[in-house]
C-alpha cells in the first residue's frame, strides 16, 4: 500500500488530497449520526435529572404522612442544670410544677483496706496470694435460671486486686454488680438503682476468700452495717402529687415526657416544665415540599422551552415537545390546585393551608395562614395530604376491612411521581432503556459506516493507482512508437 500511495498521482495528478476530499464529501451522514448521539445523551441526562428531582419530592411528600411531623412538641425546663426534659410527639401540652425531693442511688458494699495490701509497698497490680471462689447474686436472682443470674468468681494466688476486680466485672451481666478500686479498696455497686440487695456467698463454706477481701460473708447489703449502703428511689412532686422511681430518669410522671433528675430542688422552689406545640417542624416539612415542587416545575419548563423561534440562533429545551413531560407538568400543577375529598369542611385544598399557585404554576406558602390552620385543626391539615384508612364492616360475619382511598394531595402526587420514577415500570426507566437501545444502534451504524468509508478509500487508492499505471504504460508505448517513426540519424 505504501508503494501504491507513493506512485499514485505520478501521471494523473490525482493524489491523496483528492481521495480525502472524496471521502469527506461522503462522510456527511456520519455527522448526522454523531449529532443524533449527542441529542439522545442530552435527553437521557435531562430525564435523569428529572428523576432525581422527582425522587426528592416523593420523599418530602412522604414526611407529611408521619404523625411526628404534625404532633411535634417543644419542651422547656426552667432550670436545665437541675432538671432535663425531652418529649414525644404525643406529649400532653401544659405547664407542670416539678420539685425534686430525692435522687435515686444504687446499693454499695465497700471492702475496707485489704490486709494483704496493708504493706504500703504493695500495689493493686501485685499478686495477693489469695485462693478461693465466691458467688454474687442480686435480688433479681431466679432459681429457674441460675446460670443467667449468678456469677462465680474464681480467685487464684497470682491474681492482683486489679485482676480480681476485672473478674468481677466480667460477670456483671450475670450478677448485676459492678466493681471498682478506690484507695486500694473494692467498692461493689448494684447496676440498678433503688433499695435493692445483693449477696456474696463462698462456694466452699470453709473458704475464707470473702473475708480475706474485706467483704461480708454470706450476707446482704444492710443499711445498718458501716461498710454497706442501701440504695434509694428518687422522689419528685409533680403538681402536688408525689412520685417515686428506681431511676433518675422518670418516664411516667407526665404523659409523653421524660424527666432527667440532676440535682435536688431548693426547698419551696419547684421548677417549671412547659410542653408546647412545635409548628416549626410542620411548617418546614410543607415549605420543603413547596420548594421542591417549584424546582421541578422550573426545570421542566426549561426542558420544554421552545425559546425564541424568530432568533437566528434559537436555543430550545432538551425535551421540547415531549408528551410524557408535558403530562407530568400538567399533572403536578393540577394536583396543587385541586380539592381533596377528605371529609373536612375547613381544610379541603392547598389554599386553605396558605399554598397558592400562580398562572405559571409557581407555588407560594403563606406561613401565617398555615399556622392558623394548624392551630384550628392540625388533623385536618394532615388529612389534606394523607387521608386516613377507612374501616368498613365485614360481610356476613367476616372481619372488618381497611380501605385506603388515597385521596390526599400527597398520596395522589406520590402516585403520579411513582409512575415516572419506578425502577421497574416507570416512564423514565422505559425512556432510558429506549435511549440506550437507540444509541447502541447508532454506534453500530457509525462503525459500519466507517468500515464502508475505509473500503471506499482503499478502492479509490487502488483505482487511481491503476490509472497512473495505465498512463505510465501508455506513455511508454508512445515513446516506443515515436522511436520507430523517428529512428535516430547515423553519423
Structural domain boundaries of the chain?
73-104+233-277, 108-229
Strand blocks (E) in 183-289: 185-190, 198-202, 219-220, 228-229, 234-238, 241-245, 249-254, 257-261, 271-277
pLDDT digits (tens, 9 = 90+) for 10-27: 556 677 777 677 666 676
Q: Is the pLDDT of residue 218 over 50?
A: no
- Taking the C-alpha atoms of residue 10 and residue 480, their distance in angstroms, rounded to an integer, is 20
Q: Give the C-alpha distances (Å, rounded to integers) separating 221 from 64, 108, 143.
A: 54, 7, 20
CB 482 within 8 A of CB 37: no
Res 219: pLDDT: 46
Nearest-CA neighbor of 41 among 266, 319, 232?
A: 319
- Classify 174 in phi/psi space as left (phi over 0), alpha (psi -120 to 50) or beta: alpha
Q: State the burial class of residue 114 (Cβ atoms within 10 Å of its Cβ: 0-12, 13-18, 19+).
A: buried
CB 426 within 8 A of CB 420: yes
pLDDT bin (cut points 50, 70, 90) of residue 299 is: very high
Res 122: pLDDT: 84
Res 285: pLDDT: 94
Of 12-26, 315-329, 401-415, 473-487, the range with the highest mean pLDDT is: 315-329
pLDDT bin (cut points 50, 70, 90) of residue 473 is: confident
Q: CB atoms < 10 A from the CB of 42, how many?
A: 14
More confident site: 297 or 222: 297
Mean pLDDT rounded to a whole number for the chain: 84
377 contact partners, CB below 8 Å, separation of at least 6: 344, 346, 347
3 state SS of 106: coil
- Taking the C-alpha atoms of residue 458 and residue 464, their distance in angstroms, rounded to an integer, is 10
Res 401: pLDDT: 47
- Classify 13 in phi/psi space as left (phi over 0), alpha (psi -120 to 50) or beta: left
CA atoms within 13 A on the CB side of 148: 5
Mean predicted confidence (pLDDT) in 406-418: 91
Res 478: pLDDT: 77
Cell of 270: 419547684
Place of cell 509497698: 121
Nearest-CA neighbor of 369 among 283, 307, 275?
A: 283
Place of cell 491474681: 159
Nearest-CA neighbor of 47 among 362, 417, 416, 429?
A: 429
CB 445 within 8 A of CB 452: no
Q: Any idea which of 32-46, 254-268, 360-374 has the lowest mean pLDDT?
A: 32-46
Mean predicted confidence (pLDDT) in 317-328: 93
- Name the DSSP class of 105: B
Res 10: pLDDT: 59
Alpha-carbon dihedral angle through residues 356, 357, 362, 367, given to the nearest 10 degrees: 0
Q: Any idea which of 164-173, 421-430, 434-443 has the lowest mean pLDDT?
A: 434-443
Res 11: pLDDT: 57
Per-state percent for the chain, helix, strand, coil, to nearest 5: 45, 20, 35
Alpha-carbon dihedral angle through residues 23, 27, 28, 34, given to the nearest 10 degrees: -160
Q: Is the pLDDT of residue 84 over 70?
A: yes
Architecture of the domain made up of 108-229: 2-Layer Sandwich (3.30)
Cα dihedral sign for 247, 253, 257, 262?
A: negative
Q: Is the pLDDT of residue 432 over 60?
A: yes
Q: Is the pLDDT of residue 397 over 80?
A: no
More confident site: 27 or 129: 129
pLDDT digits (tens, 9 = 90+) for 90-118: 788 889 999 999 999 999 989 887 887 87
Stated length of the chain? 491
CB 132 within 8 A of CB 159: no
Cα dihedral sign for 208, 209, 210, 212?
A: positive
Q: Any idea which of 110-124, 212-226, 357-371 has the lowest mean pLDDT?
A: 212-226
pLDDT bin (cut points 50, 70, 90) of residue 378 is: confident
Mean predicted confidence (pLDDT) in 123-138: 89
- Classify 112 in phi/psi space as left (phi over 0), alpha (psi -120 to 50) or beta: left
Mean predicted confidence (pLDDT) in 150-168: 92
Res 125: pLDDT: 92
Res 353: pLDDT: 93
Cell of 439: 444509541
Tell me what percent of the residues of the chain surpass a pLDDT of 70.
86
Mean predicted confidence (pLDDT) in 370-383: 87
DSSP symbols for 135-180: EEEETT--TT-HHHH-EEEEE-TT-BHHHHHHHHHHTHHHH-EEEE
- Taking the C-alpha atoms of residue 96 and residue 182, their distance in angstroms, rounded to an integer, is 41
Cell of 51: 428523576
Entry pTM: 0.60
3 state SS of 193: coil
Res 246: pLDDT: 93
Q: Is the pLDDT of residue 445 over 90?
A: no
Q: Is the pLDDT of residue 471 over 80?
A: no
Amino acid at each position: 500500500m505504501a508503494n501504491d500511495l507513493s506512485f499514485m498521482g505520478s501521471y494523473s495528478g490525482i493524489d491523496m488530497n483528492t481521495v480525502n476530499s472524496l471521502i469527506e464529501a461522503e462522510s456527511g451522514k456520519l455527522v448526522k449520526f454523531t449529532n443524533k448521539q449527542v441529542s439522545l445523551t442530552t435527553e437521557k441526562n435531562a430525564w435523569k435529572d428529572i428523576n432525581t428531582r422527582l425522587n426528592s419530592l416523593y420523599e418530602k411528600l412522604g414526611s407529611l404522612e408521619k404523625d411526628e411531623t404534625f404532633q411535634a412538641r417543644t419542651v422547656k425546663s426552667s432550670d436545665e442544670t437541675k432538671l432535663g426534659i425531652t418529649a414525644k410527639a404525643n406529649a400532653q401540652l401544659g405547664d407542670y410544677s416539678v420539685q425534686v425531693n430525692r435522687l435515686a442511688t444504687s446499693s454499695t458494699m465497700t471492702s475496707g483496706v485489704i490486709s494483704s495490701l496493708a504493706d504500703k509497698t504493695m500495689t493493686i497490680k501485685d499478686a495477693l496470694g489469695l485462693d478461693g471462689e465466691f458467688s454474687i447474686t442480686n435480688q433479681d436472682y431466679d432459681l429457674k435460671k441460675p446460670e443467667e443470674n449468678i456469677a462465680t468468681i474464681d480467685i487464684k494466688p497470682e491474681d492482683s486486686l486489679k485482676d480480681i476486680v476485672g473478674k468481677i466485672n466480667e460477670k456483671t451481666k450475670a450478677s448485676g454488680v459492678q466493681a471498682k478500686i478506690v484507695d486500694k479498696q473494692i467498692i461493689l455497686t448494684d447496676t440498678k438503682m433503688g433499695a435493692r440487695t445483693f449477696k456474696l456467698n463462698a462456694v466452699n463454706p470453709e473458704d475464707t476468700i470473702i473475708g480475706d477481701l474485706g467483704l461480708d460473708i454470706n450476707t446482704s447489703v444492710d443499711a445498718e452495717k458501716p461498710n454497706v449502703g442501701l440504695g434509694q428511689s428518687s422522689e419528685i412532686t409533680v403538681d402536688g402529687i408525689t412520685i417515686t422511681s428506681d431511676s433518675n430518669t422518670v418516664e411516667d410522671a407526665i404523659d409523653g415526657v421524660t424527666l432527667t433528675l440532676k440535682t435536688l430542688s431548693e426547698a419551696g422552689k419547684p421548677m417549671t416544665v412547659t410542653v408546647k406545640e412545635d409548628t416549626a417542624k410542620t411548617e418546614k416539612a410543607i415549605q420543603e415540599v413547596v420548594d421542591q415542587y417549584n424546582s421541578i416545575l422550573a426545570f421542566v419548563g426549561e426542558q420544554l422551552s421552545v425559546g425564541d423561534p424568530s432568533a437566528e440562533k434559537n436555543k430550545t429545551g432538551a425535551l421540547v415537545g415531549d408528551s410524557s413531560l408535558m403530562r407530568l407538568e400538567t399533572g403536578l400543577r393540577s394536583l396543587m390546585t385541586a380539592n381533596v375529598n377528605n371529609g373536612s369542611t375547613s381544610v379541603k385544598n392547598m389554599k386553605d393551608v396558605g399554598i397558592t399557585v400562580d398562572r405559571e404554576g409557581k407555588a407560594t406558602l403563606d406561613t401565617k395562614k398555615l399556622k392558623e390552620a394548624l392551630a384550628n385543626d392540625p388533623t385536618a391539615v394532615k388529612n389534606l395530604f394523607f387521608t386516613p384508612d377507612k374501616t368498613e364492616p365485614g360481610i356476613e360475619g367476616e372481619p372488618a376491612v381497611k380501605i385506603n382511598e388515597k385521596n390526599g394531595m400527597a398520596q395522589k402526587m406520590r402516585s403520579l411521581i411513582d409512575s415516572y420514577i419506578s425502577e421497574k415500570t416507570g416512564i423514565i426507566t422505559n425512556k432510558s432503556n429506549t435511549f440506550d437501545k437507540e444509541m447502541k444502534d447508532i454506534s453500530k451504524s457509525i462503525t459500519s459506516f466507517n468500515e464502508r468509508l475505509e473500503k471506499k478509500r482503499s478502492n479509490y487508492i487502488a483505482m487511481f493507482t491503476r490509472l497512473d499505471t495505465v498512463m505510465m504504460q501508455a506513455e511508454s508505448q508512445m515513446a516506443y512508437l515515436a522511436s520507430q517513426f523517428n529512428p535516430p540519424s547515423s553519423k
